[in-house]
Each structure stands twice: as C-alpha cells, then as structure tokens.
Structure 1
Amino acid sequence: MHTTTQSLSALQSYADLSCARQELLQAFWQDILSSSSTHGTPATLEALLEYAYRLASVVGQIPPQAMAIVLSIDSSNFARYKQTQTFTHIMQALDSMLCASNLTSDSLVAMQALQCAILACESPKRIQESLELMRHIIATGLCDIQRAKRLFTMLEICFSQDKKIAPSLESTSRNISTKALEDEFSSIASALESAIPHTKPALDTAKAKLQNKGFSIGVAGVLSAGKSSFLNALLGKSVLGTSTIPETAALTILHYGQSECAEVEFFTPQELAQHKSSDTLTNEQKALLEMGQKAIACEELAHYTSANHKSGFYSLVKQVKLALPLAFLQNNVEIVDTPGLDDPVRIREELTKSYIQQCDMLIYVMNASCAATQKDMDFILESLIGGHLARILVVLTRADLLSGKELESSLNYTRQSLQQELQKARYDGDIQALLDSIDFIPVSSLFALGYKTDDKDIIAKAQAQGFTLEQTGLPKVQAYLESMLFGDNAPKQRDLLYSAYRGVLLELDTARQNIELQQRIMQANSEDRHKIAQELRDKNEKLKESMHKAHKQLETLASDFMQYLHELLSLINAHLNAHIQRLFTQLYDDAIYEYAKNAKPSKERVESIINQSLQDSYHDLMREYKYKVAKKLRTLNELTLSTNASLPLDTPLAMPIITHPDNSAAITTLASTLALAVLELNNAHSKNSQEKLRASLQELLRTQLGDFTHLLTQENTRIQGLLEQSLAAYTKAQENALQEMIAHNLSTLESTLAKQSSPSDIQALESTFATIQSLHNEVQMILKALR
C-alpha cells in the first residue's frame, strides 16, 4: 500500500490529484483484478501508475471519440478491438509515447495505463462527453454492460465527492430549455438567411419540421382490456365506443380538428382477400370497397367500427381518422387506438404491430385483475426490443375493482413476468435498465371519466368507494404525458431540435467552404485562379472516390449482415433441436404411462401435447430471433452513419420492421398431421416394444418438422429482401446528394471566376464569413449540448 501511495503522490504533482481521484484509481484497479482475465496486468498498481505518469501529457490531445473507445476496452474485448482500423489509428498516434514508456501498442497494459491517466487527469466535462459516446459503443455489444455500469458508478461517486472537480457527473445539457433553443434557432436561421439568401428554402423546411412537433402515441392491449374507456377518460369525453365485448375493430387515429369529423379507410380487395372471401360480401359492402374511403359524421362511427353492429362493416375497415377539437391534441399530437392484439382479423393485428414499431411512445393497457398474459408480455418485449421506443407506460385499468393489496400484487406480478420473459428471450443486455424504462400507473377509467364529464351519479359511486379524481390515477397519466410531450427534456423535443440544428450546420459548412473558395479566387491572379479551379475539380473527383469507397463499405456491411442472418438461422435451428427433444420426452413418457395401464394415448391428448409444444417453441424461438436481429440492425445503422460521415446525406438507413408472424393456423395444421403419425406409431407398439418406439418416435420428429423450420426461415428471407431494398435506396440517395454538391461546387466556381471583384466585394465577403463562422461555432456548441 505504501508504494501505491507514493505513485499517487507522484501523479498529484502534475494533476493536483484529490482523495476522490485516488479512490477512483483504487476502485478501477480492483475492477481490473476482479475481471475474468488479467493476463498481462502488472503485479501492482504502482507499476501501472508509473506508466500512466508518462502518458499523462498526451491525455488532453485524445478526442472524446477515441477516449470513449479507450475506456471501453478490457481484457474480454481487447483482442477484438486490436483488429479494428479505429483502434490502430489511436495507437499509431500514441506510438512514440508508448515506446518511450517501454510499452507496445498491442499491449493490454498500455491500454490500462492510458485509462488510469485519463481517470487521474482528465476533466469531468471531457470524461462526460466520452461516456455519452461510450453508451453507443455499449449498444453495439462491443463493451460489457456490467463492467461499464461499474465504471459509471465509480466516476459518479468520485465527482460527487470532490466538490473542487464538479458538483456531479450529470451533464449540464440536461438542463437546457428546449423553448430557449427553439427561439435561438429562429434567430440563427434569420441571420443565416440574411447572410446567404439562397439558404432560405432549406431553412424554411427545417423551421417547418421543428414547428410541426408531431408526436405519435400508440395505445395497445388485448381485446377488452379497456383501451377505449381509458382513452375516453384521457380525452375527457365519450368519443370511442365501449362494451363488455370487443368493440374497437379498426385502427383509430385521433388528431386535432376545429370540428368533429371522421374518415373511414377500407381495405383494398387484395388486402381483404387475406382474411375474408369477397364472395360473402353484400352489394353495399362491395360498394364501400370500391370507394376506398368515406367521410362520415362521428355519430356514425359505430356503424363502421363496432364488431357488434349488424352492418358487419367493421371487417372491411382498415383504419379511421377522427378529428376532434380537443386542446390535448393540438401541436400535432396524434393518438392511435389500436385493435386488440388478439383480433381475429390477422391483417389488422399486423397493422397494429407495424404502427407501434414507428410510434414515439406506447401506452399499453392491461386489465389489472388479469394482467401479464403471454400475449401482453410478448407484445411489450417486441415493442421494447424491436422498436425505437424510449419508454412504455403500462396502464392497469379497472383499478377500482381491486383492493390496494391486490393492486400492488398485480403490479409486482407484471414486473416479475417481464423480467422472466426477458430471461427466456436470452436478453443479454441490462435487464434492469430495460425494466426501468417501463412505468406503471393504475387507473379507474370509469370514475375518471365521471369526474371529467361532471357525471353526478358516477362521482357519487366513486366517492362512496373513496376515489377522488387524484386517486383515479388519471392526473398521474396526464402529468406523465405532459413531461414526455412538452417538458424541456422530452425525448421528441430534443430529437427535433437536434435534427433542425444539424440541418443548419450542414448549410453553414457548405456556405463557409463556398466563401473560402470565393475569397481565394478574388485574391488570386489569373494563373492561380486556374490552379484553384483544378483543385476544385480534383476535390469533386475525391468526393466521387469517397462515395465509391463508402458504397463498397456498405456492401461489406450488408454482406456481413446477411452472413449473420444465415448463422443466426443455424443457431435457431440448434435451439429447435432442444425443443424437439422436449416434445419427444413428453410424447414418449405419455405413451409409456398409457402402456403401463394396457392402454394407448388418446388422439386428443397427443394433439394437445404437440400443438401446445409447437406453439410455445415457435414463439420462444421467434422472440429470441427478433431480439438478436433487432440488436444487429441497430449496430448496422450506427456503422452505416459512421461509414458515411463525410458524405453529404444526413439521413439514416431505413431499417426493415421485424414482425412476429403468428402462424398459429399453420402450426395447428402441422400439429394435426404430426399427431396422426405419432398415433400410428403409438398404436403399432406396446409395453413390450417401447424401446423400439423410442427410436421410431425420435426419427419421426426429426423428419416431420421440416415445415416447422420453414416457418422460422420465412421472416429471415423477408428481412433480407427488405434490407437489400433499403440499402439500394440509401445508396441512390447518397449518389443524388453527391451530384448536387458537385454541381453546386462547379456553379460557384464558374460564377466567381467570371466576376470582377472590387475591394468592397472582398470586405463584404469577409464580413459574411465572420458571421457564418460565428453561427457555425454556436450551432456546434448547441449540438454538443443536445447530445
């Protein structure tokens, strides 16, 4: 311990090392020792700190991106990092310093020493920037989540203890007012438009997008979970029909309108053919399909959307758009009441799932007395893992029918069920972090609506049960939505601001480059002007080369992803073998049990075992498949953006939506066919030949489940095709953006070469450049704060 203190003291001579920093280094060293592999680690912390002392002078030169990579490295991933080009560049930049410290660039000790130097010397602000970037690395699976969490905790403790360093590790960007940034955006846009008039169209587009503030809230749940009743309470009026049996039979989009009106959109004949024969339609129903859509009064809504109405129109309706003059829906807030997840019209359930993949927020409604069904769990996990939702609000309805103790029990059971399902899905991320992104609020919709509409009878019933408006749970839901929609840290608000400012930064970059070019040309003689022209042509050629290189990298990424899909299918098939073995054990043990009684397994029993086993196996395997593909797609998207960082298009690759095809009917048919074959085997054997039954049954299951495997490969093929289409469209968009940039460069060159410049022109250009440079610096600072 004495030698360690001496080393810490040595570091203190140049970094003013505090006690908190000393404790941080000690904790970091203990974490290294407790890791699974410590090969190459020096015997003492003293040796590591001696190396760190020599490397400390270069710490301030390491950019946050590189620092994030360095802090992400440990003994478990070091070999993988060494193979990357980014790591090689970092180590080459430090090579001379490492050699002077008797370290080699491929040494884990060198990394650990550099990590110690960062933790000892770097400012909290710079470390925080690196940690924000490090979270992206964690998302790709390159960094161990638990190890990262320990590092985050160490730093938080260190910086909260040492007041001289920082009051806390919390980024100051969290306290930025989005309203102030919206106002500032208008000011920046006006200044840029005045300086560079031709930027007006792009700026108008950015301002319109920022002002639009569209926010989409999906409301989902199984049939009769109370979605419509809850929404009526939230909206403060009985807008949607409610019933004790399934009522909402269409996707209903609620948006703001100055007066109430509705528009019904019907399925196309081709879409309808997937779930309903056109031969059974009446002439009136066929006429509606030919119309495609129809404007109706809100009072007629049930005529088209209710599964209980005698018209039967509900099976023809794809979705309904309902305009309402409600303040809650202003500012482009959109609420979508979805059909039940167990909707008998399969295409409508898939429509619901597809929509939820794209919405900004999900409210998932469960009946508190029968929450956390398998259907509930599957859908929530699909939405969390496969979508881009930051948070999910689970609303437990009919809370007034349960006691406080029963309600708490229902909440606990739901949380535990989600955790178990994540474990079953082999989710290898931070399960607790995922659970923390789900909020639970119990609600009494009936009593809440009574208070909202001032219904004296319902209010009397509510008060008789001790329910005030606050106790109905609705005010908590409203406060939650308020924070998500309009708060300074509302995710959607920050994303919109980031997108708008990013667009302005691209315009400023282009303007700055153009002005620099014009300045050079104005100040050049005739010969130099021709040299500048050639330089610009060469630059355009390099842009083309960069595009070609980026496309090759995209092709490599796509090829790697397709290979991953192929390997994943092999993995799923391997897991399928375990499910088949479990089915074999069930069928064989059942047969032996019946043979012992001189009987044979019944047809109903065998069909039940096979159907339930195949259904469970399919959903378990698809859940695992969806999670792994979704995770890989997120990694692919991040790699795509980094690959194309130097190119003009600032649009992410459109990723395919991963669905979870039900296939219940196909599995039931397969189970019936397999059951007949198993029954034939059972009848051909008895107690005396049960060992022969074992071999025959195993062979039968192996050969008869090819169709089941095919069901698992269909989604693989679909995603592969969609991704190929997305990559082709993305590549084409990049090419178009590049051509526009090249054409603009040439146009600027030609107009500047032809222009005769005066001293006043040069002075005006210098003034414009100063304005552009100032705006550029400001926008860069804002973007850094937003991220």
Structure 2
Amino acid sequence: MKCKFCGEETELFFCPNCGKIIEYPQFIKDNAKLEKELAEYVQSLVQEAQDKKIEVQQFVDKGSIAKVMFRKYYEHCLYLQELCANKKVAKTFASNGVSLFEMMMGFAQKCNTNECQIAVVGTVKAGKSMFINAILGREVASSYPTPETASLTKFRYSPDGDYVKVSFYSDREWKSLWEDVKKAAERSYRDEDDKDDFMSKYEELKADELRPSLLNKEEMVIRPDNFEDLKSTVAKYTSCKYPEHFFAKEVEVGLSVFNVPKNVVFVDTPGLNDPVEYRVNISRKHINSANVVLLCISADKAAIESTELAQTATIFSALRYAKERIYVFGTKIDFHTKYMDYWEQYTKPVFVKELSKKYLFGSEEIANERIFPVTALFYNLIQRAKLNSSIWDEDTVDKHELNRLVLECLGNPSTDFLLAKQRELGLEKGAEAIQPKARFYPAIPELEEKTNIPNIVAMLNDGPIKNAEQIIKDDIVQMYLSIFNDLIARVNGTSNKRLDEIHQSSESDIEIKISKLEAIIKEEEKNNPVKIKVINEILDSLKQVTDNFFMNIKNK
C-alpha cells in the first residue's frame, strides 16, 4: 500500500514514515473512539522508532499491535464468557464435546499471542511425535513405540540459540490430574503385567519422590550445550521413560535451525484417547486455540475406528469456520509391503469415504484433496543414515528397516548394476556382496520423495506458514463471529434463516447485536415466556458486566 499522506510504500496498515493510518481494520471502521485510540497508539510507536533511529517494522511488536487491533473483540468475548458462566444455562453451551466457554478461552488465547499455532493432533500411538520430527527435519521430539507426549510440547524458531522452557503443574492442577488418573485406573482393562499405564509407570520410576520439588516450581529455561544435550533435555520432560515428565505441564523448544517465522509455532499434543481425561482436555482446549490442525490417523489398516471418527468430529467442530486448514495424514503406511500400493488400493478409499461425511470435509472431492499418506519412520531413518553411515554396520532394527526401504522403493538390483558395482569395488562375488548401503546413498532424493515428507513440508511452507499473518487476522474475525452466532443460536433457538442473516452482517459492534437479540426476544416472548425470563436474566448479567467494565476503566 502507498501512504496517501506522504507517499511511503508499506505492507503495514499504517505509514512507518509519518505515522498516519492508511486503512483502518474493518472491524473498527466508523467507530470514532477506537479509530482515535489506534491512531494515537500507532503514532507513539512510530515516534519512538524514529527517536531510537531504527526501522519501525523491526521495532513494532506485532503482539502489541494485535492486542490494540483486536481488543474490542477480546472485550466482547469477556462479556460472552460471563453469559456462559451463568449456571442456569451452562448446559446450553455444550455441543459436540466442546463447550462454548472453552471456545472463548481459545479465542482469547488467539487474541493475546498473535501466533499462528499449527497443532499436531491424533490418538495415542498415531505417530504424532515421529511426524513432527520429520517436519522439523531434526529428531527433537521424544518418540518411542510406547505413548510419549503427555504434556503440550511447542516448537518454534529461536534467533538466540536453542533452549528448552518448562512449566510445571501447581498443587491444584496436580490434584485434578491425579483424580483423573485414579478414575482411569479404576476403569482400565489393561492386563496386570502391562507397565505402560500412568500409575504403573509412576510407581516404577519412583516419581513420587520428585513431586515435592517439582510441583509449583517456577518456569525454567535450559540452554543446552549441543544438539544431543537438547534432545536429552526434551526427553527428560516429555518422555515416559523419565519421572520428571509427569510434572511438566508444558514444554517449549526453541530451535536455532528451524526455517519458519518467529510467530509460527508447531505444537505436539497429548493423545486424544489418552486414558487420563485431564490430558485429553489439554489437547481439546488447544485445538480451540489452534489456527491450523495436522491430524494424524494411523493407516496401518484400511479402517478408521468409530471412536477416532468421534474425536475427528470434535476437531472439525472447533475449526468449522476454517475447515480448509485441517490437513489429515495417514501415518504408518510403511506397516505394509508395497506400502504405497496398499494405501492407494485399500486405505485411502476408506479414509476418503469416512472423512467426506457432511460434518467433516463434506464431499469426496474435498476429502481427496486434504488427505495425505506419510511415512515419517522411513524419512527419519534416512536422515539418521545421512548423518551417520555407521548405522549400516551393526545388526540393528534401523539397519533392517533401511534394507526394507531400499527394497520397497528401489526394487531388486539389476544385473548391470551388480556387475558395475562389482567392478567398482573390486569384488569377486556379485549380488551377495552388494549391500543395500551401496544403492542407498545415490538414491537419497528419490527415497525421501517416497516418504512424502518433502511434499508435505513444501505444502505447509507455501500455505499456512507463508500466510500466517493473514490466517491470524482471519481467525480473530471469523472465530468471534462464530462464537457470537453460536451464542445467539443456542440461547434463542432461532431459525437457520435468522442465524444466516446475523452471520452475513458486517456489523461488529456488540450493542447493535444485542439490539437484534432483544428484538428476537420480544418477537418470541408470547410463545415462550419461561425461556425469555432466563434470557432476560442473562441480559441483566451482561449489563452488569458491562457497567463494571466501564467503571473499572473510569477508575483507572
């Protein structure tokens, strides 16, 4: 855009040279008070940048700008949260396992962080951590055959070197979690010798000895000396092999080698079918604040469990205003020989059929475009072998899997290849002397392509990562309207026609929307006086919150 006042070219909504607003955000246009506040704030930022003789684009904290731009939405959300807290109507605001109150909390999170959060979600053992390692290009996330991710783990770019930030549960949070652990143990159908469940692992690792020192512990930041130190630190607070992981509520990993903008964050979430409900709720709440969802569904068989479909429906409900930002990945396709053939012939048709239902993608055409096969196992093995060729020298699982990869993707070696290698290496024998290792290294680009990871990374870079700023802004607007419309629909039971009329309205001022709400109430008052009485009580509560808000502002 070009500033109409001084002619300066800029991508910002204000001029970094003269500080004038070029174009006000849509949702505060024609609101003189908000326009004035934003203009004054921006002018002060530009002036401060000029005083310090630095570029305003570098100086401006986008988080601060976002808080000013979206503050009105945030205030409205506080009003709506107060409505949902009313005990008389609490049940009205629960739908598809996601309460409207939780959606509002997610909305508030989006307003405050100004981050594009890309959440990797799925059931326990769906291969989420292995998948996120492949996306990162480095095996940082803890991934073993047993369920791993028990806490929210975030990965972001760090210009100041690698770090690990850990926050811990409080006594109150731990008490709630432990109650759910006991409930899970009571209803568990596990065999007595199964040592992977929470309680058994907790006792086996003698975690209770650490509880007094880690509960209520202040957030700490660890600066590892090298990459191996980074991996071991992440594992210590996220892997089920270490007692410390039980008490870590959230782990943030800053990576100096991670080619994404600073406000793009990848999030590894606990499994949606974790037996401990407290940890499931962590994932559900984060889905509500995520901007993009990468849903991992195990494709080791040509079926999707009904429980998995129900969990998938929850995700689609949370992002119903932005289904195009839900990507589904069939993980573990490497389980079968000729895995891509098996995927195309058996698994993909089932995935497309199930996910094209009306409440999910809505059509086979869209589902076809949004479902991708992936083998993070093979991709990560390739990266290990690139860094360390000695992986071929010992009789390990990694070596056997690499042999299988070469055979799967390159087939049996031709006679010409064997003869050429025989001459090159000066060998007296033929096929039995030619190891897959000799075929592996020249074919690395082809083998990586067969895992589909390079294509997925390119797709994310050209899509949500590239468009992160716009996605953040769109989500704020659309999620707000979605929440408000949902509130109106649930409280008033209005027809779809009325809901559509409100949704299509470009008005964002809450007083106008409340006027519409009151008009609908008067219209239906004769038919349903009991319901109207409850709604009137809610509106009284809203008025009280509004009055208190302005009183607090006045006092300040």
Per the normalisation by structure 2, the TM-score is 0.54
User: SS of the residue aligned with 1:263?
Assistant: strand
User: SS of the residue aligned with 1:328?
Assistant: coil
Partner amino acid, structure 2, of 1:250 = S
User: SS of the residue aligned with 2:154?
Assistant: strand
Q: Deviation per CA, 1:134-174, whole angstroms, max 9, x where unpaired?
A: xxxxxxxxxxxxxxxxxxxxxxxxxxxxxxxxxxxxxxxxx
What is the correspondence of 1:5-84 to structure 2 with a 5 Å cutoff? Answer: none
Partner amino acid, structure 2, of 1:372 = I
Aligned to 2:168: 266
Distance 1:633 1:735 in 2: 31
Partner amino acid, structure 2, of 1:214 = E
Q: Deviation per CA, 1:289-314, whole angstroms, max 9, x where unpaired?
A: 031434445323323322233x2x33
Residue 276 (1) aligns with residue 212 (2): no
Distance 2:285 2:540 in 1: 18
Distance 2:484 2:252 in 1: 41
Structure 1 residues 556 and 316, CA, compared in 2 at 3 Å: closer, same or farther?
A: closer
Aligned to 2:62: 209
User: SS of the residue aligned with 1:364?
Assistant: strand
Structure 1 residues 635 and 724, CA, compared in 2 at 3 Å: closer, same or farther?
A: farther
Deviation, 1:468, is 1.5
Residue 291 (1) aligns with residue 217 (2): yes
Q: Deviation per CA, 1:543-589, whole angstroms, max 9, x where unpaired?
A: xxxxxxxxxxx99996774243xx9xxxxxxxxxxxxxxxxxxxxxx
Distance 2:125 2:485 in 1: 48
Q: Which has the larger radius of gyration?
A: 1
Tell whether the 8 Å contact from 1:209 to 1:496 is kept in structure 2 after alignment.
no
Distance 1:369 1:331 in 2: 35
Distance 1:322 1:725 in 2: 46
Deviation, 1:236, is 1.3
Residue 416 (1) aligns with residue 353 (2): yes
Residue 317 (1) aligns with residue 248 (2): yes
One of 457, 460, 467 as aligned partner of 1:481: 460
Tell whether the 8 Å contact from 1:265 to 1:294 is kept in structure 2 after alignment.
yes
Aligned to 2:422: none
Aligned to 2:267: 336
What is the correspondence of 1:146-157 to structure 2 with a 5 Å cutoff? Answer: none
Structure 1 residues 411 and 635, CA, compared in 2 at 3 Å: closer, same or farther?
A: same
Deviation, 1:493, is 3.5
What is the correspondence of 1:585-596 to structure 2 with a 5 Å cutoff? Answer: none
Q: Which runs of 5+ in 1 are unaligned?
A: 1-180, 502-553, 568-627, 649-719, 741-787
Tell whether the 8 Å contact from 1:217 to 1:360 is kept in structure 2 after alignment.
yes
Deviation, 1:437, is 9.0
User: SS of the residue aligned with 2:356?
Assistant: helix
Deviation, 1:226, is 0.9
User: SS of the residue aligned with 1:417?
Assistant: helix
Tell whether the 8 Å contact from 1:251 to 1:320 is kept in structure 2 after alignment.
yes
Tell whether the 8 Å contact from 1:251 to 1:319 is kept in structure 2 after alignment.
yes
One of 448, 470, 479 as aligned partner of 2:449: 470
Distance 1:199 1:288 in 2: 46
User: SS of the residue aligned with 1:331?
Assistant: coil
Deviation, 1:252, is 0.5
Partner amino acid, structure 1, of 2:448 = L
Partner amino acid, structure 1, of 2:507 = S
Structure 1 residues 434 and 636, CA, compared in 2 at 3 Å: closer, same or farther?
A: farther
Deviation, 1:447, is 2.2
Distance 1:243 1:308 in 2: 10
Residue 327 (1) aligns with residue 303 (2): no
Tell whether the 8 Å contact from 2:151 to 2:269 is kept in structure 1 after alignment.
yes
Tell whether the 8 Å contact from 2:119 to 2:287 is kept in structure 1 after alignment.
yes
Structure 1 residues 319 and 730, CA, compared in 2 at 3 Å: closer, same or farther?
A: same
Q: Deviation per CA, 1:618-649, whole angstroms, max 9, x where unpaired?
A: xxxxxxxxxx9xx999869848862628989x
Distance 2:372 2:486 in 1: 43
Distance 1:286 1:354 in 2: 27
Q: How many residues were matched structurally?
A: 361
Residue 242 (1) aligns with residue 143 (2): yes
Residue 308 (1) aligns with residue 241 (2): yes
Distance 2:541 2:474 in 1: 24
Structure 1 residues 302 and 726, CA, compared in 2 at 3 Å: closer, same or farther?
A: farther
Structure 1 residues 348 and 411, CA, compared in 2 at 3 Å: closer, same or farther?
A: same
> Quick check: which one's helix share is greater?
1
CA RMSD of aligned residues (A): 4.8
- Residue identity over aligned pairs, in percent, reads 20
Structure 1 residues 224 and 732, CA, compared in 2 at 3 Å: closer, same or farther?
A: farther
Deviation, 1:354, is 0.7
Distance 1:337 1:561 in 2: 33
User: SS of the residue aligned with 1:224?
Assistant: coil
Deviation, 1:478, is 0.7
Aligned to 1:369: 300
Distance 2:455 2:403 in 1: 22
Aligned to 1:623: none
Deviation, 1:470, is 1.1
Structure 1 residues 474 and 190, CA, compared in 2 at 3 Å: closer, same or farther?
A: same
Distance 2:152 2:275 in 1: 14
Structure 1 residues 475 and 736, CA, compared in 2 at 3 Å: closer, same or farther?
A: farther
Aligned to 1:493: 469
Distance 2:21 2:135 in 1: 45
Q: Deviation per CA, 1:643-682, whole angstroms, max 9, x where unpaired?
A: 628989xxxxxxxxxxxxxxxxxxxxxxxxxxxxxxxxxx
Partner amino acid, structure 2, of 1:385 = S
Deviation, 1:215, is 1.4
Tell whether the 8 Å contact from 1:254 to 1:334 is kept in structure 2 after alignment.
yes
Deviation, 1:475, is 1.1
Deviation, 1:382, is 1.4
Distance 1:406 1:729 in 2: 61
Structure 1 residues 410 and 184, CA, compared in 2 at 3 Å: closer, same or farther?
A: same
User: SS of the residue aligned with 1:365?
Assistant: strand
More displaced, 634-643 or 256-265?
Answer: 634-643
Distance 1:357 1:562 in 2: 21
Distance 1:375 1:726 in 2: 39
Distance 2:278 2:37 in 1: 50
Aligned to 1:193: 20
Q: Which runs of 5+ in 2 are unaligned?
A: 1-7, 23-35, 47-56, 67-113, 183-202, 225-229, 393-398, 410-445, 478-482, 514-534
One of 278, 291, 301 as aligned partner of 1:360: 291
Tell whether the 8 Å contact from 1:182 to 1:497 is kept in structure 2 after alignment.
no
Structure 1 residues 349 and 292, CA, compared in 2 at 3 Å: closer, same or farther?
A: farther
Q: Deviation per CA, 1:248-303, whole angstroms, max 9, x where unpaired?
A: 22110112223222122222222222231699973421221031434445323323
Aligned to 2:311: 379
Distance 2:540 2:156 in 1: 32
Aligned to 1:399: 333
Aligned to 2:427: none
Deviation, 1:220, is 0.8
User: SS of the residue aligned with 1:465?
Assistant: helix
Distance 2:348 2:178 in 1: 39
Structure 1 residues 272 and 221, CA, compared in 2 at 3 Å: closer, same or farther?
A: same
Partner amino acid, structure 1, of 2:118 = I
Deviation, 1:474, is 0.5
Distance 1:274 1:197 in 2: 42
Distance 2:334 2:312 in 1: 24
User: SS of the residue aligned with 1:341?
Assistant: coil
Tell whether the 8 Å contact from 2:150 to 2:238 is kept in structure 1 after alignment.
yes
Partner amino acid, structure 2, of 1:392 = I
Aligned to 2:434: none
Q: Deviation per CA, 1:399-431, whole angstroms, max 9, x where unpaired?
A: 2333333212211101212235x4xxxx5x982
User: SS of the residue aligned with 1:218?
Assistant: strand
Q: Deviation per CA, 1:296-334, whole angstroms, max 9, x where unpaired?
A: 45323323322233x2x3332222111111233433210
What is the correspondence of 1:773-784 to structure 2 with a 5 Å cutoff? Answer: none
Tell whether the 8 Å contact from 2:14 to 2:20 is kept in structure 1 after alignment.
no
Aligned to 2:99: none
